[in-house]
Each structure stands twice: as structure tokens, then as C-alpha cells.
């Protein structure tokens, strides 16, 4: 970015936002509007032409693809003799919603995300909102800086300092399968029950509870039903296994 443009950014009313982004990301953003959009949850969507609403969902879609490609390449080079199934499982562990939520929180994304407090309670805020914003940010970086810059950013700023791949290799993350197998071994019935499908103007939440032999063991809330099931299963594993 030309020095004059950086200088103007730091003199503008946006300078605090630019500084916050630089502290988190390690670089000065070019197209600032992309980063603002990346942190705008759909509950704070802005209506644009023909009724279309602008939120971070499209950037999330793009960022998910870029993140998956970069992590796949890292794993491909790191494990030259492992089969496709192993690589797929490892990638799933790294890019899981739980993992991305933790990363986003650790990086301080929660201070930048725009969301509607009236439609999102504290439980929902910490379900997938942070992880979604993480993927959206990757999409913004890609559009702003290009693939090679984004790849280097992920490798040097995210993976190396924050993700212990060798430890993660030994970590169980498929809690739903683990819970189902445990119930089968002990002759117990298990049910993942959708108890709430709360709909607001801009947001839809799913509440899933785990029942074992008819007893409620755990509950979880997320914007995605499958993610809610995974979170509820993880809580149940902590209690039962």
C-alpha cells in the first residue's frame, strides 16, 4: 500500500479501528470496508439494493474455502505418507467450529464483531459467531491482499503460534461418534433432540439437547443444527465419559 494512503488512514476517524486490526493481524488493511464487513454479523446486516442484505456470510463462504485449501496444503506437506482419510480428519480438527471459536477469541475478535444484542444472547454469542467471523476475515484478507499473502498470514500468524498440530493429532474431536459408541457399549439409548428453533428477523438459533435413557444430559445452542449437536455431544462426553 502506498505510504500516502497509510498516512491518510492513520489520520482519519478510522485510525483506532485500523490500529486495532493491525495489532490483531500484524499488517495494515488496504480495503477497510472488507474488514468491517467481515465482522458484521447477519443480525446487524445492512440492506442494500433490491432488498439484498449485506453481512459477513458471503465472506464466510469464501474464507472457509481459502482456509481449507491452506490447511490442506500444510497437512499434505507435513504428513507425506498419510492417507486421505487421516488428512481429512486432521483438517476437520483444525477448522472445526470449536477450534475457530477459540482462535478468534484468543486473537481478540470479540471486541470487533458487530451484532444485535437484542436478538443474540450471551450463550449464542459464544456459539459460532466468533468462528464465523474468523472465516469471514480470511475471505476479506484474500480479497484485499491475494492468495499468497493470505497463505503466509495463516501459516505465520495463526498456525505456527496458535495450533499445535502434533498434539491435535492425538486429540479426540468427534465427540458425537464417541458418545454414540459409549452408549452402544453400555446398552443405553441416546437421542439428540431439537427443542428450540428460535427465529428472529435476522437470526435463527437451534437448541439441541442430549438425552441418554430419557435423561437430559446436556444442551447447546448454535446457528447451525449440526454444530449445536456437536457442542451438546462434547458437553455430554465431559459429564459421562
Contact status, residue 139 vs residue 232, Cβ threshold 8 Å:
no
Q: How confident is the model at residue 5 (pLDDT cuts 50, 70, 90)?
A: low
The CA distances from residue 38 to 81, 139, 152, 182, in Å, are 37, 8, 19, 40
Q: Is 64 a catalytic residue?
A: yes
Distance between CA 198 and CA 179 in Å, rounded? Answer: 26
Q: What is the mean pLDDT of residues 117-130?
A: 60
Q: Which tens digits make up the pLDDT trace of 201-229?
A: 445 778 899 999 999 999 988 877 887 88
pLDDT top residue among 213 and 170: 213
pLDDT score, position 201: 44
Ramachandran area for residue 210 (φ above 0: left; ψ -120 to 50: alpha; else beta)? beta
User: What DSSP designation does 12 have?
Assistant: S
- What are the domain boundaries of the chain? 3-169, 175-240
- Per-residue burial over 62-74, b if 16 or more Cβ lie within 10 Å, else e, is bbbebbbebbbeb
Distance between CA 29 and CA 19 in Å, rounded? Answer: 10
pLDDT score, position 29: 92
pLDDT score, position 157: 94
pLDDT score, position 110: 84
**Closest CA relative to residue 36, chosen from 149, 142, 129, 133:** 133
pLDDT score, position 66: 97
Q: In percent, how much of the chain has pLDDT > 70?
A: 83
pLDDT at 176 over 90: no
Q: Is 60 a catalytic residue?
A: no
Distance between CA 161 and CA 167 in Å, rounded? Answer: 13
**Catalytic-role residue among 14, 57, 60, 64:** 64
Domain 3-169's class? mainly alpha
Distance between CA 216 and CA 193 in Å, rounded? Answer: 10
**Closest CA relative to residue 140, chosen from 56, 68, 70:** 56
**Catalytic-role residue among 60, 110, 116, 135:** 135
pLDDT at 137 over 90: yes
175-240: what fold? Double Stranded RNA Binding Domain (3.30.160)
Amino acid at each position: 500500500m502506498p505510504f500516502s494512503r497509510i498516512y491518510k488512514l492513520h489520520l482519519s476517524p478510522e485510525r483506532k479501528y485500523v490500529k486495532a486490526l493491525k495489532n490483531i493481524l500484524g499488517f495494515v488493511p488496504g480495503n477497510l470496508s472488507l474488514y468491517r464487513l467481515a465482522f458484521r454479523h447477519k443480525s446487524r446486516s445492512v440492506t442494500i439494493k433490491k432488498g439484498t442484505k449485506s453481512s459477513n456470510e458471503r465472506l464466510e463462504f469464501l474464507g472457509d474455502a481459502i482456509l481449507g485449501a491452506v490447511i490442506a496444503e500444510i497437512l499434505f506437506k507435513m504428513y507425506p505418507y498419510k492417507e486421505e482419510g487421516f488428512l481429512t480428519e486432521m483438517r476437520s480438527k483444525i477448522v472445526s467450529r470449536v477450534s475457530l471459536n477459540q482462535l478468534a477469541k484468543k486473537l481478540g475478535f470479540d471486541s470487533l464483531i458487530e451484532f444485535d444484542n437484542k436478538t443474540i444472547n450471551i450463550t449464542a454469542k459464544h456459539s459460532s459467531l466468533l468462528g464465523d467471523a474468523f472465516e469471514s476475515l480470511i475471505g476479506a484478507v484474500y480479497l484485499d491482499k491475494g492468495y499468497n499473502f493470505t497463505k503466509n498470514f495463516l501459516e505465520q500468524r495463526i498456525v505456527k503460534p496458535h495450533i499445535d498440530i502434533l498434539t491435535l493429532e492425538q486429540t479426540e474431536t468427534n465427540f458425537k461418534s464417541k458418545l454414540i459408541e459409549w452408549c452402544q457399549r453400555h446398552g443405553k439409548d441416546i437421542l439428540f433432540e431439537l427443542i428450540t428453533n428460535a427465529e428472529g428477523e435476522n437470526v435463527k438459533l437451534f437448541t439441541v439437547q442430549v438425552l441418554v435413557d430419557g435423561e437430559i444430559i446436556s444442551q447447546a445452542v448454535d446457528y447451525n443444527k449440526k454444530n449445536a449437536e456437536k457442542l451438546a455431544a462434547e458437553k455430554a462426553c465431559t459429564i459421562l465419559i
